[in-house]
Amino acid sequence: MNKKTNVAVIGVGRMGGYHVGIYSEMADVNLVAVVDPDSERGGALASRYKVSHCKDYREILDKVDAVTVAAPTSLHYQIAKDCLEAGVHCIVEKPICDNYAHAESLFDIAGRKNLTLHVGHVERFNGAVQELRKIVQNPIMIESRRMGPYDPRIKDAGVVLDLMIHDIDILLNLVASPVVDTHVMGTSIFSNREDVVQVQFQFENGCIASVLASRATQEKIRTMAITQEKEYIFLDFAHQDILIHRQASSQHELRQRELKYRQESVIERIFVHRDNPLKLELTHFLDCATNGAHRHISVENELMSLRVALGVLDTLKLARKNLSLA
Ligand SMILES: NC(=O)c1ccc[n+]([C@@H]2O[C@H](COP(=O)([O-])OP(=O)(O)OC[C@H]3O[C@@H](n4cnc5c(N)ncnc54)[C@H](O)[C@@H]3O)[C@@H](O)[C@H]2O)c1
């Protein structure tokens, strides 16, 4: 009989709560504990899933093989470092850290100790994104929009590390070419961090991308549109829906009293297999941790997404400083 993998979730707020739910349904997983200094949250989840609750993750390190780290981002580094040093595989919610050197050092520890360290970019496992990777070959232009209302719960990150990093990660994996130029504009509306940011990237292979992220918009929008030579591909993340427009033609028609414009194209709707992305993500993590499976996203690419996102923040800070000096 195969031994079950002992896991715990560290930080059981909104995201950690989802991880608990998924682990509790996995046949080869033994959910040992939920960890959260908030007794109310931790206690409620512990009694719902009939596991133990503790306030300090250091108490469970010798009882688990793998953990999810879903505490606030500013705590990821110390928690993941202690877990890895104790020989525990980790999946750390995105962004892995808010500091590049810290992220690099976590991957160094994992490499040295032969442990699996993944970053929780759940959007990678969205069925539509997986389909997109099969269709997108030589993108000329990519536009993404990720917008929604302000959530005062997120206190330790602005919109770049909270939302835009998802699209940066998808873009970098789709375009597979280094970013050579970046233009950034941003503003704060509800917090003292950036709430609305617009970025333009130029890639070495000539592709250009426009990425808009907002947490000040009274409608939840998550879309990506890709222009290729013969296709226009439109993805709606929320509905996991992909439309491909091809063979577009347009003409003006002169009728009796009016000039009409007509446009036609063939539109194909792609069937997207709708599995739970978080379940796929955690299954992949445990497969790598316990069966030595090959990771889908290389460590270099994990670090690249963070480096580009932090680069956007640096450019924004500089632009704001220059603006206040002007
Ligand atoms: N992948 C995604 O799509 C996605 C979505 C939302 C959030 N996140 C990430 O998940 C992380 C958590 O975000 P959230 O929205 O769930 O926040 P949250 O505030 O709802 O939850 C964080 C929890 O961590 C607990 N906590 C605080 N200090 C702790 C400690 N020392 N040890 C253990 N737990 C501790 C808090 O009490 C709280 O319950 C963030 O890094 C965020 O960026 C990822």
pLDDT in tens, 203-213: 999 999 999 99
Q: Does 288 fall in a domain? A: no
Q: pTM to 2 decimals?
A: 0.92
Of 120, 142, 157, the domain-final residue: 120
Q: Does 294 fall in a domain? A: no
Say if residue 43 is in the same domain as residue 149.
no
Mean pLDDT of the region 120-138: 93
Q: Does 301 fall in a domain? A: no
Say if residue 195 is in the same domain as residue 92.
no
Say if residue 30 is in the same domain as residue 171.
no
Q: What integer pLDDT is reported at residue 21 of this predicted model?
A: 97
Q: Please identify, by atom number, the ligand 1 atom nearest to the C-alpha of residue 35.
A: 33
38 CB within 6 A, ligand 1: yes
Which domain range does residue 182 map to? Answer: 124-275+307-325
- DSSP labels for 124-185? GG-HHHHHHHHH-SS-SEEEEEEE----TT--S--HIIIIIHHHHHHHHHHH-S-EEEEEEE
11 CB within 6 A, ligand 1: yes
pLDDT tens digits for range 278-306 = 999 999 999 999 999 999 999 999 999 99
- What's the pLDDT band for 1 if we cut at 50, 70, 90? low
Asked if omega into 139 is within 30° of 0 (cis), the reply is no
Say if residue 150 is in the same domain as residue 115.
no
Say if residue 103 is in the same domain as residue 161.
no
State yes or no: pLDDT of 123 exceeds 80: yes
List Cα–Cα distances, 18 to 34, 82, 138, 143, 153, in angstroms.
Answer: 12, 23, 36, 29, 17
Q: What integer pLDDT is reported at residue 325 of this predicted model?
A: 60
pLDDT tens digits for range 49-99 = 999 999 999 999 999 999 999 999 999 999 999 999 999 999 999 999 999
Q: Which of 58-62, 237-241, 258-262, 268-272 is predicted least confidently? A: 258-262
How many Å lie between the centroid of ligand 1 and the Cα of residue 25?
Answer: 21
Q: What integer pLDDT is reported at residue 106 of this predicted model?
A: 98
Q: Does 18 fall in a domain? A: yes
How many Å lie between the centroid of ligand 1 and the Cα of residue 13?
Answer: 5
69 CB within 6 A, ligand 1: no
- Which of 238, 239, 180, 186 lies closest to 216, judged by CA? 186
How many Å lie between the centroid of ligand 1 and the Cα of residue 150?
Answer: 17
Distance CA 275, CA 113 (A): 33
Question: Considering its fold, how many domains does the chain have in total?
Answer: 2
Say if residue 116 is in the same domain as residue 140.
no
Q: What integer pLDDT is reported at residue 150 of this predicted model?
A: 93
Residue nearest atom 20 in ligand 1 by C-alpha distance: 13
Say if residue 51 is in the same domain as residue 113.
yes
How many Å lie between the centroid of ligand 1 and the Cα of residue 90?
Answer: 15
Q: Find the CATH number of the domain harbouring 28.
A: 3.40.50.720
- DSSP labels for 66-100? EEEE-S-HHHHHHHHHHHHHTT-EEEEESSS-SSH
Give me the residue label for tokens 């009016």: 258
Q: What three-state secondary structure class fits 113? A: coil
Mean pLDDT of the region 36-50: 96
Question: Between these two residues, 231 and 274, which has the higher pLDDT value?
Answer: 231
Q: Is the four-CA dihedral 122, 128, 130, 135 of positive or negative sign?
A: negative
17 CB within 6 A, ligand 1: no
Say if residue 103 is in the same domain as residue 169.
no
Q: Does 320 fall in a domain? A: yes
Of 71, 86, 120, the domain-final residue: 120
Q: Does 296 fall in a domain? A: no
State yes or no: pLDDT of 186 exceeds 80: yes
153 CB within 6 A, ligand 1: yes
Spatial neighbors of 270 by CB under 8 A, at least 6 apart, are: 128, 131, 135, 242, 243, 244
Say if residue 35 is in the same domain as residue 78.
yes
Say if residue 99 is in the same domain as residue 130.
no
**Residue 291, H or E segment:** helix 277-291
Burial of 152 (0-12, 13-18, 19+ CB in 10 A): exposed
**Residue 309, H or E segment:** helix 299-325
Say if residue 55 is in the same domain as residue 112.
yes
Q: Does 12 fall in a domain? A: yes
- What's the pLDDT band for 198 if we cut at 50, 70, 90? very high
- Which of 134, 123, 85, 303 lies closest to 213, judged by CA? 123
- What's the pLDDT band for 254 if we cut at 50, 70, 90? confident
Q: Which of 40-44, 138-142, 189-193 is predicted least confidently? A: 189-193
- What's the pLDDT band for 156 if we cut at 50, 70, 90? confident
122 CB within 6 A, ligand 1: yes
Spatial neighbors of 76 by CB under 8 A, at least 6 apart, are: 69, 92, 93, 95, 96, 97
Q: Please identify, by atom number, the ligand 1 atom nearest to the C-alpha of residue 11.
A: 34
Say if residue 175 is in the same domain as residue 156.
yes
Give me the residue label for tokens 């719960």: 153
List Cα–Cα distances, 1 to 4, 28, 152, in angstroms.
Answer: 9, 11, 47
Of 105, 120, 135, the domain-final residue: 120
Residue nearest atom 41 in ligand 1 by C-alpha distance: 73
Q: What integer pLDDT is reported at residue 253 of this predicted model?
A: 76
Count of beta carbons in the 10 Å neighbourhood of residue 49:
17
- What's the pLDDT band for 155 if we cut at 50, 70, 90? confident
- The per-residue pLDDT of the chain, averaged, comes to 93
Cβ proximity of 248 and 262 under 8 Å: no
36 CB within 6 A, ligand 1: yes
Q: What integer pLDDT is reported at residue 79 of this predicted model?
A: 98
